[in-house]
Amino acid sequence: MIREAMEMPPKGGFSFDLCKRNDMLVKKGLKEPSFLKTGTTIVGLIFKDGVILGADTRATEGPIVADKNCEKIHYMAPNIYCCGAGTAADTEAVTGTHNFCSLSRCNQHVPFYFICLFSANFILQWLFLDMVSSQLKLHRYHTGRESRVVTALSLLKSHLFSYQGYVSAALVLGGVDVTGPHLHTIYPHGSTDTLPFATMGSGSLAAMAVFESKYREGLTRDEGVKLVSEAICSGIFNDLGSGSNVDICVITQGEKEYLRNHMLPNPRTYISEKGYSFSKKTEVLRTKITPLREMVEVIEGGDAMEE
C-alpha cells in the first residue's frame, strides 16, 4: 500500500528533490558547475511595419561551446516569436520534440551527475516555451482569433513569476497582432518591459551600444535588418559567450520571415581541398524499402469556425 503511494506520479509543478540533492553535494564539497546568464546575444527592434528579432547561434556549457549553430528564436504563434537567453538558449528544439541529443553531448565533457543538474533546468525550459505556445494554440481555437502578443506576455510572465526566478529564462518577445507591433523583454523573475528596442544575454551591452548609437524611429525593413545584424555581430565579436552566426526573424502584419543563418561571419577558413576519404566501407548487400504507413487523404467537411 505504502509502495503504491510512493510510485504515484507527482501532482505537477516543480519537484524540488534534485535541489535538495544539489545542496547536499555542495555541502560535501562539490563545486557546482556555474551556468549564470549563459552566452547569448538576443535583440529585438520595432521598425516601421513590424518587429525584427535577432539572435546569435552559440550554445555554451561553461567554457565549452556545445552547439555552434543552435536556434534561439522560438515559435510562439504564427505572428509571435520569442528569443531566449539563459538555459532556454541551450536547446535546439524547444517547440516540438524534446531533443535529447544535446543531453548525450554532455556525456563527453561533463560527468553524469552534472547532467542531472543541467537536465532539470533544460527540461523545464523546453516544457516552458513549448507549453506556452501550446496554450496559445488552444486559446486560438477557443476564441477563433489570432493570438495577441500581450497574451503570450502574460502567460510567460505569470509562469516565470510562479517559479520565483528558478526557471532562468530571459526572453525577448516580439510580434504583430491586430493592435499593432509589440516588443517586450521578460526577466527570469517575471518582470517585463515594453520597449522600442531591446537586448538580453551576456552580449547585451555590446549590442545595446550599437542600438543606442544608431536606432531611430521609422526604420525601413532593410535598415532594420542591417541594424539588427550589426548589433548581433557586435555581440558575437565582443562577447565571449556569443558567437557563430546571425539568425533574424522579421514579423509584419500578416506575414513573417525567418532568416535562419542570415549572416555567417565565422566560416570555417581552412577546408582541405582533397576532401576526406575513408578506406574501408561497410558493403551494402541488399536494399529493401518498406513504407510503414500508407498516405490517406482526409477530405474536410463541416462548417468553418464562427468568428
Partner 1 sequence: MLLGILGMNSLDCTPATNSLIRSEADSQRTLYPYVTGTSVVGIKYKDGILLAADMGGSYGSTLRYKSVERLKPVGKHSLIGASGEISDFQEIMRYLDDLILSDNMWDDGNSLGPKEVHNYLTRVMYNRRNKFNPLWNSLVLGGVKNGQKYLGTVNMIGVHYEDNHVATGFGNHLALPLLRDEWHENLTFEEGVILLEKCMRVLLYRDRSAVNKLQVLFSLCGIHTSRLLGNCCTV
For partner 1, which stretch binds (CB under 8 A), given 201-209, 247-255, 280-288, 295-303?
A: 201-209
- Rule CB under 8 A: is residue 212 a binding residue for partner 1? yes
As measured in angstroms, the least distance from the Cβ of 213 to partner 1 is 5
- Site of grid cell 520565483: 164
Among 161, 173, 163, 156, residue whose Cα is nearest residue 80: 173
- Rule CB under 8 A: is residue 200 a binding residue for partner 1? no
As measured in angstroms, the least distance from the Cβ of 211 to partner 1 is 9
Rounded to whole angstroms, the Cα distance separating 2 from 255 reads: 56
Active site residue 40: yes
Among 55, 76, 120, 208, binds partner 1 (CB under 8 A): 208
- Rule CB under 8 A: is residue 237 a binding residue for partner 1? yes
Nearer to partner 1, 91 or 202 (CB): 202
- Rule CB under 8 A: is residue 209 a binding residue for partner 1? yes
- The x, y and z cell numbers of residue 160, run together, are 516565470
Phi then psi for residue 76, to 5 deg, are: -110, -45
As measured in angstroms, the least distance from the Cβ of 241 to partner 1 is 12
Among the listed residues 38, 40, 87, 91, the single catalytic one is: 40
Among 124, 203, 136, residue whose Cα is nearest residue 160: 124
- Rule CB under 8 A: is residue 160 a binding residue for partner 1? no
Written as one string, the DSSP assignment of 248-277 is EEEEETTEEEEEEEEE--S------TT---
Nearer to partner 1, 128 or 211 (CB): 211
Q: Is 94 helix (H, G, I), strand (E, B) or coil?
A: coil
- Rule CB under 8 A: is residue 16 a binding residue for partner 1? no
- The x, y and z cell numbers of residue 297, run together, are 487523404
How many residues of this chain interact with partner 1, rule: CB under 8 A?
11
Q: Is 74 helix (H, G, I), strand (E, B) or coil?
A: strand
Among 43, 80, 206, 232, binds partner 1 (CB under 8 A): 206
Q: Is 95 helix (H, G, I), strand (E, B) or coil?
A: coil
- Rule CB under 8 A: is residue 213 a binding residue for partner 1? yes
Among 40, 87, 147, 234, binds partner 1 (CB under 8 A): 234
For partner 1, which stretch binds (CB under 8 A), given 76-84, 132-140, 209-217, 291-299?
A: 209-217
As measured in angstroms, the least distance from the Cβ of 209 to partner 1 is 5
- Rule CB under 8 A: is residue 195 a binding residue for partner 1? no
Rounded to whole angstroms, the Cα distance separating 140 from 305 reads: 11
- Rule CB under 8 A: is residue 242 a binding residue for partner 1? no
- Rule CB under 8 A: is residue 93 a binding residue for partner 1? no
State the amino acid at position 25 in one-letter form.
L
Measured in residues, the chain has a length of 307
- Site of grid cell 528579432: 53
- Rule CB under 8 A: is residue 238 a binding residue for partner 1? yes
Which H or E element spans position 180?
A: strand 180-186
Nearer to partner 1, 94 or 233 (CB): 233
Rounded to whole angstroms, the Cα distance separating 67 from 85 reads: 14
As measured in angstroms, the least distance from the Cβ of 198 to partner 1 is 13
Q: Are 22 and 32 in contact (CB under 8 A)?
A: yes
Give the CA radius of gyration of the chain.
22
Q: Which residues are catalytic?
A: 40
Per CB under 8 A, residues contacting partner 1 are 205-206, 208-210, 212-213, 230, 234, 237-238
